[in-house]
């Protein structure tokens, strides 16, 4: 049997081939689609804010609390009465602290150097001669002290060592390392570090200055013999407490350890009155303030 004719098959293949060739040769243009970025108004505003320069923040120095004000002393007494029954008894029989105003931190620090390791009477005499040499108390400024030679200071009874201390203090003030204004606004820790960097001014001197000149409320002079003896008497301790023990025992007085220390002097003063001592305990130790 003869096969069927191939005409239709050939024609079909030829048509398909032509169609394929036409499709291959034809170019259908496609426009590329642009992708638009959508930016929210909030994001745009944030970007503007970031780019816009910000004015510098002005922070006023925060002046530390002071016992110069009666309300602060009242708060201290109420706190100490509540927290320590033994101290409450002392508070009930002794008057509250009375602190003299400090007009010049520089003058107070200079005076403390002059009074170091001297009996009150001798220190007063040297201080009066020192004031006369400067002119008056208002003339006790860094430039005046720097103009006084060690020999000139020696003539009024100031040792060469103390003269070097006075000059170092004056130099730090004249160069701006310290100033009356900065001392008044420094926190306790910074002030302690800055002042103990001055020659001749140690921890005890700084503590006395902070209590009696700046009237800082939370200072515990752990190296002061009078305060340590007062703590020993108040709590009936067999031995004089060491500085580390003082920190632990007086922790509860915070943030008014200066006032607690004041009452330790009062306690010791009352104890020593029977020995004929007319002068207060802290007056013997802190005449320079």
Per residue in 74-99, pLDDT (tens digit) is 999 999 999 999 999 999 999 999 88
Domain with residue 74: its CATH number is 1.10.1670.40
How confident is the model at residue 101, as a pLDDT? 82
Are residues 116 and 255 both part of a single domain? no
In a domain, 25, yes or no: no
How much is the average pLDDT of 34-63? Answer: 52
Are residues 224 and 191 both part of a single domain? no
Q: Looking at 157, 186, 213, which one is the last position of a domain?
A: 213
User: What's the CA gap between 261 and 127, in Å, rounded?
Assistant: 27
Are residues 110 and 209 both part of a single domain? yes
**Count of the separate structural domains present in the chain:** 2
Is the backbone peptide bond immediately before 255 cis, with ω within 30 degrees of 0? yes
pLDDT of 5 over the 90 cut: no
Q: Biggest alpha carbon distance in the chain? A: 156
| Cα 113 off chain centre by | 23
Select the more confidently predicted residue: 53 or 126: 126
Are residues 195 and 225 both part of a single domain? no
CB 67 within 8 A of CB 98: no
User: Residue 201: which of 269, 109, 135 has the closest Cα?
Assistant: 109
User: What's the CA gap between 229 and 220, in Å, rounded?
Assistant: 13
Are residues 131 and 180 both part of a single domain? yes
Per cent of the chain over pLDDT 90 is 67
Per cent of the chain over pLDDT 70 is 73
In a domain, 44, yes or no: no
Give the pLDDT band (50/70/90) at residue 274: low
Can you list the positions of beta strands (E) in the chain? Answer: none
How much is the average pLDDT of 142-166? Answer: 97
In a domain, 37, yes or no: no
- Using alpha carbons, list the distances in angstroms from residue 197 to 64, 143, 150: 21, 20, 21
Q: What is the pLDDT of residues 227-251, one digit of tens each?
A: 999 999 999 999 999 999 999 999 9
User: What's the CA gap between 212 and 280, in Å, rounded?
Assistant: 14
Q: Which helix (H) or strand (E) element contains residue 36?
A: none
In a domain, 252, yes or no: yes
> Whole domain around residue 244: which residue ranges?
70-99+219-277
- In the numeric block, which tokens belong to residue 232? 């020993």
Give the pLDDT band (50/70/90) at residue 33: low
How much is the average pLDDT of 203-219? Answer: 97
In a domain, 258, yes or no: yes
- Using alpha carbons, list the distances in angstroms from residue 86 to 5, 260, 261, 274, 280: 131, 11, 13, 22, 21
pLDDT of 276 over the 90 cut: no
Q: Looking at 196, 213, 230, which one is the last position of a domain?
A: 213
In a domain, 46, yes or no: no
User: Residue 259: which of 80, 54, 71 has the closest Cα?
Assistant: 80
Q: Looking at 181, 213, 245, which one is the last position of a domain?
A: 213
Are residues 95 and 120 both part of a single domain? no
Are residues 137 and 154 both part of a single domain? yes
How confident is the model at residue 8, as a pLDDT? 46
Are residues 79 and 119 both part of a single domain? no
CB neighbour burial string for 162-188, b if at least 16 within 10 angstroms, e if fewer: bbebbbbbbbbbeeeebebebbeebeb
Domain with residue 202: its CATH number is 1.10.340.30
Give the pLDDT band (50/70/90) at residue 283: low
Are residues 176 and 231 both part of a single domain? no
Q: Which helix (H) or strand (E) element contains residue 184?
A: helix 180-185
Q: What is the pLDDT of residues 106-118, one digit of tens each?
A: 999 999 999 999 9
Are residues 90 and 228 both part of a single domain? yes
């Amino acid at each position: 049997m003869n096969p069927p004719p191939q005409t239709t098959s050939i024609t079909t293949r030829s048509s398909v081939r032509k169609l394929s060739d036409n499709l291959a040769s034809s170019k259908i243009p496609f426009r590329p689609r642009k992708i638009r970025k959508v930016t929210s108004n909030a994001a745009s505003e944030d970007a503007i804010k970031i780019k816009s320069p910000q004015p510098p923040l002005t922070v006023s120095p925060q002046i530390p609390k002071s016992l110069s004000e009666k309300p602060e002393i009242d708060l201290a007494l109420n706190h100490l009465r509540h927290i320590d029954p033994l101290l409450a008894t002392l508070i009930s029989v002794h008057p509250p602290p009375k602190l003299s105003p400090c007009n010049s931190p520089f003058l107070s620090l200079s005076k403390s150097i002059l009074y170091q390791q001297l009996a009150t009477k001798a220190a007063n005499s040297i201080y009066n001669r020192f004031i006369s040499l400067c002119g008056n108390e208002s003339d006790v400024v860094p430039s005046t002290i720097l103009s006084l030679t060690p020999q000139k200071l020696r003539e009024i009874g100031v040792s060469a060592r103390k003269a070097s201390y006075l000059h170092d203090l004056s130099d730090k003030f004249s160069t701006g390392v310290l100033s009356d204004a900065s001392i008044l606004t420094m926190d306790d820790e910074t002030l302690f570090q800055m002042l103990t960097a001055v020659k001749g001014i140690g921890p005890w001197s700084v503590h006395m200055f902070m209590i009696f000149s700046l009237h800082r409320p939370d200072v515990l002079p752990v190296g002061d013999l009078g305060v340590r003896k007062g703590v020993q008497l108040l709590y009936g301790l067999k031995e004089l407490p060491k500085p580390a023990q003082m920190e632990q025992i007086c922790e509860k007085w915070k943030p008014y350890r200066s006032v607690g220390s004041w009452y330790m002097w009062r306690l010791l003063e009352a104890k020593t009155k029977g020995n004929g001592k007319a002068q207060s305990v802290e007056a013997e130790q802190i005449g320079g303030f």
